[in-house]
């Protein structure tokens, strides 16, 4: 099973700042990686799939990069509604989620 490790566990930032979230895979997942946003009490929302493709309706301030084992979700100019937990998920040889990063 491929393990996804997200860091940091918590990221403390202010509105207007840029967030960089990391997801590292225990073995290569090519570009088969997605990012989700989850707010308290709500279901996850797909932001990015296949490492860098924004899902429908996702603002351009969300961008994904990386390949192989190292991936980054960047949120430029944080809006108040961006403070949430973010999960990465791979689809290479199975499917697992990372442990999440809380942006506060």
Partner 1 sequence: QITLKESGPSRVKPTQTLTLTCTFSGFALTARPVGVGWIRQPPGEALEWLGFIYWDDDKRYSPSLRSRLTITKDTSKNQVVLTMTNMDPVDTGTYYCARRLPYDGDWGSGYFDFWGQGTLVTVSS
Per the document, the length of the chain is 104
Q: How far apart are CA 73 and CA 78, in angstroms?
A: 13
CB 95 → partner 1: shortest distance, Å? 5
**What is the binding site for partner 1 (CB under 8 A)?**
1, 32, 34, 36, 42-46, 49, 55-56, 87, 89, 91-100
Which lies closer to partner 1 via its Cβ, residue 1 or residue 104? 1
- Minimum distance between the CB of residue 97 and partner 1, rounded to whole angstroms? 4
Residue among 19 and 29 whose Cβ is closer to partner 1: 29
Smallest distance from partner 1 to CB 12, Å: 19
* Cβ closest to partner 1, residue 32 vs residue 83: 32
Burial annotation 2-34 (CB, 10 A radius, 16+ → b, else e): bebebeeeebeeeeeeebebbbbbeeebebbbb
Q: What is the spatial distance between Cα 50 and Cα 53, in angstroms, rounded to a whole number?
A: 6
Residue 10 or 18 having the CB closest to partner 1 = 10
Please report the sign of the dihedral spanned by the C-alpha atoms of residue 52, residue 90, residue 32, residue 2: positive
């Amino acid at each position: 099973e491929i393990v996804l490790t997200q860091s940091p566990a918590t990221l403390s930032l202010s509105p207007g700042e840029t967030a960089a979230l990391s997801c590292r895979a225990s073995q290569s997942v090519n570009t088969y990686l997605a990012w989700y946003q989850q707010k308290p009490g709500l279901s996850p929302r797909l932001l990015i799939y296949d490492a860098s493709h924004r899902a429908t309706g996702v603002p351009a301030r969300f961008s994904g990069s990386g390949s192989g084992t190292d991936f980054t979700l960047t949120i430029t100019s944080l809006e108040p509604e961006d403070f949430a937990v973010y999960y990465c998920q791979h689809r290479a040889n199975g499917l697992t989620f990372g442990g999440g990063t809380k942006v506060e």
